[in-house]
Amino acid sequence: MNANGRSPDTHFGFRTVPLAAKQGLVDDVFHKVARRYDLMNDLMSAGLHRAWKSAMVTAIDPPRSPRAFTLLDVAGGTGDIAFRVVAAGGSGTRAIVVDANSAMLAVGHERADAGGLSRSVTFACGNAEALPAADRSCDAVSIAFGIRNVPRIAQALAEAFRVTRTGGRFVCLEFSTIDVPGLDRLYELYSWNVIPTMGRLVTGDAEPYRYLVESIRRFPRPQAFAAMIRDAGFSRVSCRLMSGGIVALHTGWRL
């Protein structure tokens, strides 16, 4: 509560909404797009998201040996990152996917069953601000294109730090800010005009994709977000911009 006895406000895209309402609004967005989420990622990024996620898996660096390694992937309901990490690691690599959205988790469950990965990848309904994991229980915590949808980003980063083992790492892939002259204007035109139209044609609803574009614009710039990761307790924080700054790969270590 604030000084007036009201719940504090936050942003849902460009709208100002009560903080307590944001998670429900975000859930509604992903319920609408869950079945076409991975297809839309391919279409919107022209397949580039696959290269970005490969860089993320490299940063997570699961051991190729039978040594036990546990990844907690936050907001990764469809299992995309978890499946990639398990495939890259050895027989001791396991992944736990935590997502607040049941529709996204259902897609992930189906994909795990179809790929024979149910023993290596498990799914849990949970919130990034209160992760269902014990203190210092994970070798790595990851979140891809999800941190900007969290109502309290600082709280989510604090939770990531809490569950990361000493010597473990935090890896975050998120859309960023383009600073390349010319490319920034083209990206603006593409984002505001093409992505919502594409979303309407593929999923039947443009509104979730207007929100996604707005949420990217409101997300902190790379150095500001890196400072938030440090404030959560992580050390040796780094940021790697990719594709002209369309996305940033942030990493930090619990030392």
Kindly give the confidence (pLDDT) of every residue in the chain, 255 residues in length, as a single tens digit, with 9 standing for 90 and above: 444 554 465 544 445 545 555 555 555 655 566 666 677 677 777 788 899 999 999 999 999 999 999 999 999 988 999 999 999 999 999 999 999 988 889 989 999 999 999 999 999 999 999 999 999 999 999 999 999 888 899 999 999 999 999 999 999 999 998 877 787 788 788 787 888 788 787 777 777 777 778 888 888 999 999 999 999 999 999 999 999 899 999 999 999
CA distances from 164 to 7, 88, 113, 167, 250 (A): 30, 20, 28, 8, 15
Specify the pLDDT at position 187. 79
Residue 115 is predicted with a pLDDT of 93
The contacts of residue 164 (CB under 8 Å, 6+ apart) are 136, 138, 139, 140, 141, 170, 254
pTM for this entry: 0.84
| Cα separation, 245 vs 255, whole angstroms | 28
Q: How far is CA 94 from the centre of its chain?
A: 18
- Cβ-in-10-Å burial (0-12, 13-18, 19+) of 6 comes to exposed
What is the rounded distance in angstroms from the CA atom of residue 230 to the CA atom of residue 223?
11
Q: Which CATH superfamily is domain 25-180+207-253 in?
A: Vaccinia Virus protein VP39 (3.40.50.150)
Q: Is 223 exposed, middle or buried (0-12, 13-18, 19+ CB in 10 A)?
A: exposed
Q: What phi-psi label fits residue 83: left (phi over 0), alpha (psi between -120 and 50 degrees) or beta?
A: alpha
Give the E-state strand segments of 83-207 in sequence order. 93-99, 121-125, 138-144, 164-175
How far, in whole angstroms, is CA 80 from its chain's centroid? 11
pLDDT of amino acid 57: 98
pLDDT score at 65: 95
> Which pLDDT does position 29 carry in this prediction?
58
Q: What is the pLDDT of residue 196?
A: 79
Q: Is 122 exposed, middle or buried (0-12, 13-18, 19+ CB in 10 A)?
A: middle
